[in-house]
Amino acid sequence: MPRIGSRKLYILVKREFGSQQGFPGRDKFLDLLSGQGLLLRIKRRKHYKTTDSNHPFKRYPNLIRDKVFGAPNQAWASDITYVETADGVCYLSLITDLYSRKIVGWALGETLQTVHCQRALEMALETLRYPEDSKGLIHHSDRGCQYCSYSYVDRLKSRGIQISMTESGDPLENAVAERVNGIIKSEWLYGVEIKDYADCYERVSQAIETYNNLRPHMSLDYQTPTEVHDFGAVPVRHWKTYSERKQANQEQTL
């Protein structure tokens, strides 16, 4: 995890060495990293468009707005991002569980064709213990042509999955998927020379394996997505939905 955040690194190091005498506190640990020049600044690369919403396919309403999910496989968020290589751009399709933040499906393609999103979807469906577990599950995405296409929508409907989509261009409507994209790219793929598709595939595969199983996640009380998704670890929620914040503000004014 060469670019893991300093606070998460502190949690991991503390688990291994925290019982030793003289182990520093978090602020001292951050000062130590800074003093040794170990805090990184990530240089962003140019942007490639991955979403085409100008299409004739049906759009669907946002079903996850302000919802809080209490278990895995109640809702998945899908998105596409790009990865630059020396041989050209690759496109990564990800499906993330909204409760556990685990990446349950992914596919890497050299084009933006729908088939790659479908491969990610099939991988996610294979993680379900029983076929009927998909009934009622919400699949959330942007309004890109891949997710609105007949073949993709028909596959979701065939498994009884509810279809949810963003209703504007605001990234916050698909915030979890956007965040996971950023983590994978900024912590493992930015600042390294990726040769070609094969090299990219290997790096992405390792990044997702590490993200799911080793990297502590702040929103999961610094547990890993796999611990929450597969082993029943229960994170404490430290954030509020928009409605909860609004209600709290109203109560304060009374």
pLDDT digits (tens, 9 = 90+) for 47-93: 666 776 777 899 999 999 989 999 999 999 999 999 999 999 999 99
Contact 63, 47 (CB under 8 A): no
Helix (H, G, I), strand (E, B) or coil at 140: strand
Same domain (yes/no): 23, 114: no
pLDDT attached to residue 86: 95
Report the pLDDT averaged over residues 144-151: 95
pLDDT, position 71 = 96
- pLDDT tens for each residue of 168-219: 877 789 999 999 999 999 999 988 999 999 999 999 999 999 999 999 998 8
Largest CA distance in the chain: 65
Q: How confident is the model at residue 246 (pLDDT cuts 50, 70, 90)?
A: low
Structural domain includes residue 250: no
| pLDDT at residue 244, rounded to an integer | 65
- 113-136: pLDDT as tens digits: 999 999 999 999 999 999 999 999
Same domain, 85 and 175: yes
Taking 90 as the threshold, does the pLDDT of residue 252 lie above it? Answer: no
pLDDT at residue 245, rounded to an integer: 64
**Which H helix or E strand runs over 241?**
none
In a domain, 58, yes or no: no
**Gap between the Cα atoms of 213 and 209, Å rounded:** 6
pLDDT digits (tens, 9 = 90+) for 227-240: 999 999 998 876 56
In a domain, 95, yes or no: yes
Please tell me the pTM assigned to this model.
0.81
Q: State the average pLDDT over residues 234-253.
A: 68
Residue 90 in any domain: the answer is yes
pLDDT tier for residue 24 given thresholds of 50, 70 and 90: confident
Residues 15 and 117 in one domain: no
Same domain assignment for residues 19 and 108: no
Tell me how many domains the chain contains: 2
Please indicate, yes or no, if residue 101 is contained in any of the structural domains: yes
Residue 119: per-residue pLDDT: 98
Co-location of 28 and 122 in the same domain? no
Beta bridge partners of 84: 89
Mean pLDDT, residues 31-41: 77
Provide the residue range defining the domain that includes 135: 75-231
Return d(Cα 87, Cα 104) in angstroms, integer.
28
Same domain, 226 and 128: yes
pLDDT at 28: 80
Residue 138 pairs with which residues in a beta bridge? 75, 162
- 119 and 179 inside one domain: yes
Residues 119 and 221 in one domain: yes
253 domain residue, yes or no? no
Residues 164, 109: one domain? yes
Enumerate residues 6+ apart whose C-beta is below 8 A from 178. Answer: 79, 171
